[in-house]
Structure 1
Amino acid sequence: MAPSAKPISSPVPDAWYPTLAFLMLFVGLVVTASFFIYEATSSRRNRSIAKELTTGAVASVFLGFGSLFLLLATGVYV
């Protein structure tokens, strides 16, 4: 006989979804704002592609997970 199946559950409690959504979206928007400020205030000769890619990747990850938790908090299970 096969062992009884365990139901799939989230590693994060459901009550944390709104808080995680708010925090991750906030951090993502702050990093995005710093990216735009960096692009607007630095000259073309002083820009660093590594800094741009790193900042963009960090902002993307936080905004992506923030959007995911926002959808989960509102009941859209993806």
Structure 2
Amino acid sequence: MAPKAIASPIPDSLYPTLSIINLAIGLILTASFFIYEATSSRKTRSLAQELTTGAVASVFLGFGSLFLLLASGVYV
């Protein structure tokens, strides 16, 4: 029995679209994080909100970077 070829669960034609969407969401969340840090006082800041916003922005920027590399032909 011949081994089955490894295939991506996402079509290659969607990589550029996914990279743009993920990077856009990540940059918007990063901007909202910086705006929150600049406009809130030290006493009104919430550590949970900072960590959540930072983590979600990081995930979107990470996947956006991954799909950007895949769309440009760098297979990681």
Distance 1:56 1:10 in 2: 29
Residue number in structure 2 paired with 1:56: 54
User: What is the CA distance between 1:4 and its match in structure 2?
Assistant: 2.0
Task: Provide structure 1 residue ranges, at least 5 long, that are not aligned to the other structure.
Answer: none
Return the match for 2:65 from 47, 67, 78.
67
User: What is the CA distance between 1:30 and its match in structure 2?
Assistant: 0.2
1:1-78 equivalent positions in 2, closer than 5 A? 3-78=1-76
Distance 1:24 1:38 in 2: 21
Distance 1:39 1:15 in 2: 38
User: What is the CA distance between 1:65 and its match in structure 2?
Assistant: 0.2
Secondary structure of the structure 1 residue equivalent to 2:43: helix
TM normalised by structure 1 equals 0.96
RMSD: 0.5
TM normalised by structure 2 equals 0.98
Larger radius of gyration: 1
| Counterpart code for 1:5 | P
Task: Provide structure 2 residue ranges, at least 5 long, that are not aligned to the other structure.
Answer: none
Secondary structure of the structure 1 residue equivalent to 2:3: coil
